[in-house]
Amino acid sequence: MPDPRSDRFVRSHLKTRHLVLLVELGRHGSILHAAQAANLTQPAASKLLGELEHALNVQLFERLPRGVVPTWYGEVMIRRASAALAEMDAAHQEVMELLSGLSGRVSLGTVLTPSAGLVTDAVKLLKRRNARLQVAITVDTSKVLAERLRAGELDLVIGRILDTALTAELNFEPLTDEPHSVIAGAGHPLAGRTDLQLADLSREGWVLPPAGSILRDRLTALFLSQGLEPPSETVETLALPVVTNLLSGSRMVAALPEELVRPYLDAGLLVVLPYDLGLRMDLYGIVTRRQHQLSPGAEAMLSTLREVAAMRYPARS
């Protein structure tokens, strides 16, 4: 049965400094360093932590000789404290926006493919309508973006929800999937082959996304399912300019959506090799937090993304 002390404490005594201390303890793993970052003395930080643990009746951190490590309860509190502080920052920003017209800052996370089309088109349209609105764009994997969204570091994400346990916290609006082709630099020796096989591609150098990504896992499974070792000569990156420059003038290949590199294909800088990988990624979409009110700027970004998505992917509108 929940301890009524914790309810009374949270409602009446939990202060911003408790939240700040939790976040800093999670960052630094040291009461001394967390206290310095939170502008507290070490005794004051220890007292605040003790108050939290007493009120909640759980141990939030394990005390070790060289610092502290959050328990499972501590991990929950750190994440919630981070989100609460982000909400307070967002509240201040929203008030300022209402006072001065639509301005402020929107933090958008996106996986690679929509970053080069959907997101850029939406941001250009948004800026034409709201020139003073600042937009920060982060490109990363869905897993990283979802964690940053949960922590309140991002307002919304274009990506996937890979952990079904997060569906209680996050909303998902599907947009489209990603058929992948084998992309290479113009003049690649395999471009003219009519009998190209996966075994031929396994001997080439590959530009791959980081280990643990959906595409990386599915490419590995594809090679193994045909009795082939995954490529050993690889470069890992999510940065599109790096990918395209690596492909140009080399024998390296990459599995990419043609939409992502369409300008390079149209300019004759890259080519699609004649082999069907048969790979389609899961649907990506717009991800937001449940029970969270977006700021006016973030609402404008969301509305613009939906508008542009309806034009780019009419079959799903």
Please report which confidence band the pLDDT of residue 256 belongs to, taking 50, 70 and 90 as the band edges. very high
Domain holding 44, by residue range, is 4-80
Q: How many domains does the chain have?
A: 3
Same domain as 191, residue 163: no
In a domain? residue 270? yes
Per-residue pLDDT, 113: 85
Q: Of 275 and 96, which is predicted with more confidence?
A: 275
Q: Which residue type occupies 266?
A: D
pLDDT in tens, 190-239: 998 889 999 999 999 999 988 878 888 999 999 999 999 999 999 999 88
CA distance readout (Å), 75 to 16, 67, 137, 164: 18, 16, 27, 19
Answer yes or no: is pLDDT of 276 > 70: yes
Same domain as 232, residue 113: no
In a domain? residue 89? no
Arithmetic mean of pLDDT, 283-288:
93
Per-residue pLDDT, 162: 85
Residue for token pair 């492909």? 247
Q: What share of the chain is helix, strand, coil (3-state, %, to 5)?
A: 50, 20, 30
In a domain? residue 194? yes
Q: Which residue type occupies 215?
A: L
CA distance readout (Å), 253 to 2, 82, 114, 273: 57, 41, 21, 9
**Which of 149-153, 180-184, 313-317 has the weakest average pLDDT?**
313-317
Q: For a pLDDT cut of 70, what percent of the chain falls above it?
A: 92
36 vs 42: CA distance, rounded Å: 8
Same domain as 201, residue 165: no
Instruction: Please tell me whether residue 274 adopts helix, strand or coil conformation.
Output: coil
Residue for token pair 């929107």? 106
In a domain? residue 88? no
168 with 148: CB under 8 angstroms?
Answer: no
235 vs 246: CA distance, rounded Å: 9
In a domain? residue 133? yes
Please report which confidence band the pLDDT of residue 6 belongs to, taking 50, 70 and 90 as the band edges. low
Pairing of strands 234-236, 206-208: parallel
* Mean pLDDT rounded to a whole number for the chain: 88
CATH code (residue 128): 3.40.190.10
